Structure 1
């Protein structure tokens, strides 16, 4: 499956939206993005002595689509912000991982953290669409863009390297 890792120097273009549009919806574009998470544990005598984690924010071109005759740069900005919100949550996740204390429950803790961040991400994506009326509310859209930019900057040290 093709995937684009979030990168501060790359903005989505309509050519990245390669999925088949859904004719049964009023939506003119859909961004499919998500967070992948993996970890490894270092053990000595069955005791966990360390860990490594990898958290990435991805955009999935084959699952993202647009109705090309109905989209414009404003809508593209709306879709880019969905991807930026995914990156924001990857940064929040990385920040939370730095506070994890070594213990034998790390696998469960990591799973719970991943589940929680996925729920928080879905909730924010939903609120963003509601408050921007799927980009129709220009003022709501701008408010979200500014807010996400501030939050991304605040978590800059946790940004994706991609």
Structure 2
């Protein structure tokens, strides 16, 4: 993921739980829509060594109804791509790198699903808000570690055999429920 990508990634993590203004351009994850280079609208940092950076993250919202003794909880977890925080260098990029960046987005979706599952298995107390936030933080820590592992093992898409392995593994995880 690289230091720069990790910094941008952390920005997304810390901002993903916040409410964005309607001016913030976002693309929700969808199995039907893959990223295109035209989605990457940010400007590369002058000191960046990376060919591209994908800014994606998990966001959630919840509401409660019912009584304090028997609360009814509704939680929605989503994955977003942030075009204005994502960028690429056209002279360095090809379809392999785009696929690598797409997989970063797909991995974020995988962890959104893990969060949804963890939330559905949790017996909440009256401290629902702080308990959800703690699960969110833990999932984001795990997501960051997994994204770093992905970049290390694929050597940022340069190891084509490992890249194919990761493509298959994440695709199967998304289809089979991880």
2:126 matches 1:104: yes
Partner of 1:29: 52
Q: How many pairs align?
A: 155
Unaligned runs of 5+ in 1: 157-162
Q: CA contact under 8 A between 2:124 and 2:131: conserved in structure 1?
A: no
SS of 1:27 mapped into structure 2: coil
In the TM superposition, residue 101 of structure 1 has moved relative to its aligned partner by 1.9
1:62-87, Cα deviation, whole Å (9 max, x unpaired): 00000011100000000000000000
2:90 matches 1:65: no
Pairing partner for 1:40 from 50, 60, 63: 63
Partner of 2:42: 19
Pairing partner for 1:145 from 134, 158, 167: 167
Q: RMSD between aligned alpha carbons?
A: 1.3
Q: Which runs of 4+ in 1 moved over 4 A?
A: none
Q: CA contact under 8 A between 2:55 and 2:83: conserved in structure 1?
A: yes
Q: CA contact under 8 A between 2:64 and 2:74: conserved in structure 1?
A: yes
In the TM superposition, residue 48 of structure 1 has moved relative to its aligned partner by 4.9
Residues of 2 paired with 1:5 and 1:83: CA distance?
A: 10
Q: CA contact under 8 A between 1:34 and 1:86: conserved in structure 2?
A: yes
Q: CA contact under 8 A between 1:49 and 1:102: conserved in structure 2?
A: no
Residues of 1 paired with 2:117 and 2:26: CA distance?
A: 24
In the TM superposition, residue 103 of structure 1 has moved relative to its aligned partner by 2.5
1:7-57, Cα deviation, whole Å (9 max, x unpaired): 01000000000000122122010000000011112242x445111111000
In the TM superposition, residue 2 of structure 1 has moved relative to its aligned partner by 0.3
Unaligned runs of 5+ in 2: 1-23
In the TM superposition, residue 143 of structure 1 has moved relative to its aligned partner by 1.2
